[in-house]
Each structure stands twice: as structure tokens, then as C-alpha cells.
Structure 1
């Protein structure tokens, strides 16, 4: 059966990326380049999945006043547009990208929403009936912190596999009850540390990921930036080393990893293949500006280069190095 993949973005953004040599606070800078791309975690995931060749639908909210940039992306990539238009404009997020790949984000406030607006998104999902649902990003003003948890519980009860990439309070609420826990969770190091109540070293990260896995999440993936990523599945835990690539922009690399996880689920990949594919998606995204991937054969070539070891061996190597 063909997967019905739907991504949900409730707080989208237009990413204004400004290239500078080195960011020096308090000084005047001359930009090397600037460009605007439609963004928001779920939108980015949908874009990368489309580049991979997977049919995907984008749902959620868009501001009616400046929807054209998103509409062009969806049309160009063949992404089914199921976004609900709201009065007003989608927010703009400013990304200050330095030559060394470091990016500083300035995120503006988003659209104001209400429960009635969310009811419209629920009706859209009812019509689409996803079998693979990606819930990603922050919540806009007006929606309760348990919104992601409620959507996850609703669609897991219907048999859909839910991938979740959210943070802080909404993440804690999603994990609080067994019915709302997603099939796949992808926090980063900081998000997992906040969830645990304090900074985690590598041993602590692996322990926390295993606790989440034991609580009913089939796959917990912890992205570690230049440190690679941990993949904790039902029977084993792996560490994937980050690939060294010439990075043009780090914006959206985590979203590309989520897209790689979705692609791996669709093909029924084992944990080793999942780790390789997700890492290759993230590395491929670093090579381009905007929510895009290089061609599929490039991603497959990167996947072959990923170095994998058991997570316990990785933690042991970290201890030895210290």
C-alpha cells in the first residue's frame, strides 16, 4: 500500500537568510547575499521528501497575505497543498549565516490562532487520512501546549505512524501519556537535556533516549550536530558519525534528517539503513540553501559513506578520549 504522508506545520515562517563573513554583534555588516525561502519544520520536511521522490501533502496554517512563496514551492515540487489560509501574514525568521556554517536565528512572532482554526486543520487531516504523519515545529499563539500531543494520540489510535519533532513543554506533554507518544521522536541534544531537567553528557543522552524508547516510542533519534546522531530502536542503539561536507547553510538540516527518517519508514529500512539515510539527508541539505536536497543518487552516495558503530561503543570511546 502506498503511504499517505502528511506533514503538519502550525507555525510556518519565511526564512530570510543573510550571508555574512563573520557576525560581530554591535557592528555594521555588509551582506554577501540574501534570499527568502518558505520554511517551517513541516514545510521543510515535505520539500525534502518531494526531492527524494516521495508523494507528500503539506497541511497546517499559512498567512493569506504572503502565501505566494509557499504556493510556488508546492507547485514546483508537486507537493499537495492542504494548508489552511488565515488572515494576516506568515512570520519572517531572519537567519544570519556565516562562512564557517554557523547560523544565528532571529525568529519573529507568528500568526494568532484559535481552537476554531485548529478544527479546520483537523477536518483537513480527516479528509486526507494519513498513514504517516509528521508533526513538527513550534505552536502559534492561541493554541494550547497539548496540541501536538492531542493530534498524535488521535492519529496513533487510527493506526498512523507519527513522527514528532517538537520541543520543551509540547514535547513533555506528548511524552506524558502512553497514547500520545509518537512512533518516532527526534529531539536534539538541548531539547533532550531540557526534557531531563538539566545538561546531559553523552552517557546521559543515551540513557534518556533509552528511557523514552522503553516508554513506547519505537525509535528515538537524538541529533548532535557535528557530533552525529544517536538512533535508539527496539533491539539496538547506534551512533552515526556526521559527514564532513562543504556547508553552505545549516538551516533546515534537522528537518532534512526528519525527512530521511520518514523515507526510511516508507521503505521499511532496518536501523543501520535508517541511520545512514537520515544522516545523508542532513548532510545533503548542508550543501544547498533553502529547503532542498541534492539529487537522489547524491544522497545514496552520502549514505554509503556514513560511519556507524554501536551507541555503547561510541559512549565508551568518548569516555576514553576524556
Structure 2
């Protein structure tokens, strides 16, 4: 089973507008609400692919109840850890010019008992691959407390990423900016090597239109999509993590994992909401992704 962990769950609200102009009044053509947070998005993608997955997440207040109801409606298996605070909302504004604007609330503070309950829920599950995703809310401990058993993927940034390396995750997945922020290095291969020295088994870097870079103990590869797509990019990174988790669970070699990840990322860009994927694109693109080995 693949288990995803979302300490900082959200209700994702997506507005579609003609254009986004600072200081102006906007009328949304469409408004959609969905359970979110990075780990929830990963679980949704894996559920769509038919994988054995379970989401573990926090939820509280009226917004948390909406999140729980949405997960139940989507039939995504979930263990919900109740919290006293109100689950946050994240807002995505999609404009017709292709721009994507995000407003992310920080999330409610967790007290120690709530964090301990989340840790206990994770440790109680039999896990083939553990995915820890997203920011940590105020009061939370560190991801290192959850890692160290099964194969694991850590997808976070900043101090949460650096501290999480103590748990020796099998894979970490920063984007290029996040990688530069935590290492101070502009060369992604050199920066990824620093994270491996600090405890990461492998580093998969999102390079935007240039695809993915994987720096691993068995080699370094870059995978590029066959075409650059326009759409909603907010769930693309979570789709990459879903593909990595599935590939690890199946024991696939890195080039195959990267083909799957690039194809699924593009499929997410074509989806209307984070967690949606265009399955036709996913299946067609896997055979078109170019993967080449790079020198360390």
C-alpha cells in the first residue's frame, strides 16, 4: 500500500476568470471546491490510476468537514486525524492568458497531542511506500519522525526539507528554486548531490518545461516531455510524486519511473483541478518522453 501524509490539509478553491488585474474587481466564471493539500492530491492521482493508496490527513472545523465529505464522495480511502483548528483554504485563480495565481493560507496550529495522533496514525499503517508532502503547520513536529521504515518520498521545502533529511528519505522532490534555496547552489546536479550527502537516497528535481532531473546512487538522468503544455500547473508536482511512489512500489528502474513521472505531470497540467489527470495523454506520452543519462 502507498500511504500519503498531509499535515497541512486544505480545501482547494479554484476560480476561473477572464484575466487577473491587481486592484480591479473580478467576476469568476467558475468556482470549484475540492479536498486538497499535496498529499491528498497525490492520493487522488494514485486512486485514479487504480493503485492501492490511503491518505492520512488532519481536518478540523466546518472546512474540515467539507474536506472529509469530498474524500468520501471521491471514494479515496482516508484516515482523518481531527484537530481543534479550522482547516485552511487555498485559492487558485486561473486566467484565460494561462497565468496561475495561488493564495495559500498558513494552516491552523497543531497542539502536541494532535501531532502525536497524526504520527500514530502513520505508524499504525502497513506501508510499502510512504509519501510525506507539503508544508508543516505551526506546532507540528518534523517529517523525520515519520520516515525511516518503508521506502519513502519527501516533498516539501525550506527548513522542513532540511530537517526531514535526518529521516533518510528514499527520494526527495524539490523543484529547481526550492533546491537552490536550501543548498545555495545554482547547479542542480551539484545541489542534488549535497542533499544526498545529507541523507536523501535520491533527488528528483522538477525543472518545469525541461522535465525532471534524477540524481541517484545508480546514475543521473534527465527526462523531457515531448511537448510543452499549457494549463493548470498547480497539481503537476503532486502528479510527479504519485508516479515516483507507484514506480518505487513496482520496483521499476529509474528511466521507466521518470518516463511515467513526466507523462503524468503533463497529464495533470491538462486536468482542470489539482489531482485531476488526463489519462489519454498520460498513456500516449509515456512512449514519447526522452530520457538521457547525464554525467555526475
**TM-score computed with the length of structure 2 as normaliser:** 0.92
Which has the larger helix fraction? Answer: 1
User: Does the 8 Å contact 1:91/1:109 carry over to 2?
Assistant: yes
User: Does the 8 Å contact 1:42/1:137 carry over to 2?
Assistant: yes
Q: 2:236 aligns with which of 244, 253, 269?
A: 253
Distance 1:79 1:30 in 2: 32
Query: Which is worse superposed, 298-307 or 252-261?
Result: 298-307
State the SS of the aligned residue for 1:27.
coil
Going from structure 1 to structure 2, the CA distance change for 1:76 and 1:246 (only over 3 Å counts) comes to farther
Q: Per-residue deviation at 1:216?
A: 4.5
CA-to-aligned-CA distance 1:26-74 (integer Å, 9 cap, x gap): 2223323221121100000000010111111111211142234333443
State the SS of the aligned residue for 1:284.
helix
How much is the aligned-residue C-alpha RMSD, in angstroms?
2.0
2:5 aligns with 8
1:293 aligns with 277
1:23 aligns with 20
1:184 matched to 2:171: yes
2:156 aligns with 166
State the SS of the aligned residue for 2:124.
helix
1:67 aligns with 64
1:319 aligns with none
Gaps of 5+ in 1: 314-322
Gaps of 5+ in 2: none
Q: Per-residue deviation at 1:298?
A: 4.2
User: Does the 8 Å contact 1:206/1:311 carry over to 2?
Assistant: no
Distance 2:19 2:227 in 1: 21
State the SS of the aligned residue for 1:7.
strand
Q: Per-residue deviation at 1:143?
A: 1.9
Distance 2:139 2:189 in 1: 35
**TM-score computed with the length of structure 1 as normaliser:** 0.85
1:230 matched to 2:213: yes
Alignment of 1:129-140 (within 5 A): 129-140=126-137
Distance 1:274 1:161 in 2: 15
